[in-house]
Amino acid sequence: MNKSNDIITALASPYGKSAVAVIRISGDGCKKKIEKHLERELKNGELRYNTFKASGFTEHLMAVFFKNPHSYTGEDTVELYPHGNTAICDGIIKTLTDDGIRLAERGEFTKRAFLNGKIDLMKCEALADIIDAQTTEQLVYGNARFDGQFKALETTEAELNKALSTVEAVLHYGDELEGEDIDNTIINDVFDSIDVAAERLEKEISAFDGGKIINDGFKIAIIGEPNVGKSTLLNALTESDRAIVTEIAGTTRDTIDGEYVYNGKKFVVIDTAGLNENTDDEVEKIGIERAKAAAKAADAVLYVVTKENKSSIPPEIDGISAVIINKCDDINDVGIDHKAAEYEGKLMISAKSGKNITALKQKLYDLCPKEHGALCNHRQFACAVKCYESLTAAKNERGKAECLEIVAALLYDAYSAITSLHGENADEKVISSVFQRFCVGK
Ligand SMILES: Nc1nc2c(ncn2[C@@H]2O[C@H](COP(=O)(O)OP(=O)(O)O)[C@@H](O)[C@H]2O)c(=O)[nH]1
Ligand SMILES: [Mg+2]
């Protein structure tokens, strides 16, 4: 990955009016360049009052300098704290760019921190998740990953490193080892470590959904026949007016997403077109196909029926997590004969009045996966799966004669896959896509 060390700048706070804004400048030699525009000298690590002479005006501000490598980026960095005002911030940044300083790209400060070895790619991703967080669960999870609280991947990496060195040592210096028995014991130990590593990784991979759901939200598709109250339910769950509700069957065509937070967890609700096999309407037919696809892609499917119309569930809808009986508006509806088979295990709600919506939210909360590890996005998942596949292939070599070269190659692949989690030897495009997630100024 190319390392550039020109001086970059960006506004690190939102563009608009605020008490204070932050302008960040990074790149070795930036101190001298900024001091040209300041009334007073910058002192390393000291936040001090200063005056910036921009083209056309002066601004009283606070400023701090961090000498490399003790800065966020690992380079010399200056931070200016002017008043939060677009004319002031634009004016200061223009003065800097007129002086040859380049405007930073999205996430470029963090990318420099990564390239300078201050943080690895997993930490960068945790940081992006912290900045994007909408719930306390996402914050706690992001910080836990940033602080390296999940040790399973680290332990696996260390084990694979050891196993790989052992195999390579036997391959290169095997003749110098005393006797075949020692050789066999060593190789057996290597295979034992591979077994342990594969088992640990398998657990991490199966906990991936839990991590991904914390960040992306638990996706619930609302499915059912037309007019059962699916759109009303989306609005009730999200406490919004997101979807159009009418008495006219076939109102919803596209899928409509809404979000809510319950018990600190993010949920994404997807309202869909009503399933109506008798329609000749082309648009409605497309809507129904989309509904089925949404049900397939969701983490949970709610199938909605009504008190009056307890229709059967169409066979092509798999994986229904719960059947909801809507339009139970009357006080007495709560007392509907629960023992009747058609109501058993089903939740009776009124999307219109809000009855039992909290109970439904609790039911959905209970459906969320409870386990999670460090893996939480597709890049990380792909690295872990690649490592696991090489380990599985290596495991199959146990007991085979002349297998050591193959095991060494597979262990090398497994080790490379797990270290690419940190960004080592990772594809430039993959790395760039991580930093594109950040805002300018981070
Ligand atoms: N009485 C009653 N009517 C409801 C309830 N939920 C929805 N409706 C009505 O049922 C009709 C269809 O609702 P809508 O949400 O558009 O159904 P969808 O086609 O499944 O999306 C509208 O007139 C709603 O006001 C409910 O809990 N009780
Ligand atoms: Mg609808």
Sign for the CA dihedral angle at 300, 304, 307, 312 comes to negative
- Distance in angstroms between the alpha carbons of the first and the last residue of the chain: 19
The helix (H) or strand (E) run that includes residue 201 is helix 180-206
Q: Atom 13 in ligand 1: which residue has the minimum CA distance?
A: 229
Which residue is it, tokens 């300098």?
65
Are residues 253 and 283 in contact, defined by beta-carbon separation less than 8 angstroms?
yes
Q: Quick check: CB of 351 below 6 Å from ligand 1?
A: yes
CATH number of 151-207+375-422: 1.20.120.430
Domain residue spans in the chain?
A: 8-119, 151-207+375-422, 216-367
Which residue is it, tokens 């092509």?
316
Residues 411-421 have pLDDT tens digits of 999 999 999 99
CATH number of 8-119: 3.30.1360.120
Quick one: which atom of ligand 1 is closest to the CA of 226? 19
Residue 231 tokens read as 């759109």
Within the chain, how many helices (H) and strands (E) appear?
14, 12
| 208-233: b (≥16 Cβ within 10 Å) or e | bbbbbbbbebbbbbbbbbbbbbbbbb
pLDDT at 337: 47
- Tell me which residues of the chain have a pLDDT lower than 70: 1-3, 174-183, 310-312, 331-344, 401-402
pLDDT at 418: 96
In whole angstroms, give the CA distance from residue 393 to residue 376.
25
By CB neighbour count within 10 A (0-12 exposed, 13-18 middle, 19+ buried), where does 399 fall?
Answer: exposed
Cα(308) to ligand 1 centroid in Å equals: 12
pLDDT at 39: 98
Are residues 22 and 79 in contact, defined by beta-carbon separation less than 8 angstroms?
yes
Ligand nearest to the CA of 302: 1
Phi and psi based region of residue 425 (left: phi greater than 0; alpha: psi -120 to 50; beta: remaining) = left
SS3 355: strand
Q: Quick check: CB of 227 below 6 Å from ligand 1?
A: yes
pLDDT at 214: 97
Q: Quick check: CB of 83 below 6 Å from ligand 1?
A: no
Q: Quick check: CB of 309 below 6 Å from ligand 1?
A: no
> Residues whose CB is under 5 A from ligand 2 (ion)?
230-231, 251-252
Q: Atom 10 in ligand 1: which residue has the minimum CA distance?
A: 229
Residues 139-164 have pLDDT tens digits of 999 999 999 999 999 999 999 999 99
Residue 177: C-alpha distances to residues 168, 181, 185, 330, 407 (Å): 13, 10, 12, 83, 19
Cα(304) to ligand 2 centroid in Å equals: 11
Cα(306) to ligand 1 centroid in Å equals: 9
Are residues 86 and 16 in contact, defined by beta-carbon separation less than 8 angstroms?
yes
Q: Atom 8 in ligand 1: which residue has the minimum CA distance?
A: 229
Q: How many CB atoms lie within 10 A of CB 13?
A: 17
Residue 360 Cα to chain centre, angstroms? 26
Substitution site in 352, 353, 355, 357 for ligand 1 pocket (most atoms within 8 Å of beta carbon) = 352
Q: Does domain 216-367 have CATH number 3.40.50.300?
A: yes
Quick one: which atom of ligand 1 is closest to the CA of 252? 21
- DSSP string covering 106-164: BTHHHHHHHHTTSS-HHHHHHHHHHHH--SHHHHHHHHHHHTT---HHHHHHHHHHHHH
Q: Quick check: CB of 246 below 6 Å from ligand 1?
A: yes
Q: Quick check: CB of 50 below 6 Å from ligand 1?
A: no
Phi and psi based region of residue 29 (left: phi greater than 0; alpha: psi -120 to 50; beta: remaining) = left
Cα(352) to ligand 1 centroid in Å equals: 7
Residues 256-290 have pLDDT tens digits of 999 999 999 999 999 999 998 888 888 888 999 99
In whole angstroms, give the CA distance from residue 433 to residue 105.
12
Substitution site in 223, 232, 288, 308 for ligand 1 pocket (most atoms within 8 Å of beta carbon) = 232
CA triplet 294, 299, 303: central angle to 5 degrees? 65
Q: Quick check: CB of 248 below 6 Å from ligand 1?
A: no
The helix (H) or strand (E) run that includes residue 438 is none
| pTM, to two decimals | 0.85
Q: Quick check: CB of 231 below 6 Å from ligand 1?
A: yes
CA triplet 216, 218, 222: central angle to 5 degrees? 125
Cα(209) to ligand 2 centroid in Å equals: 29
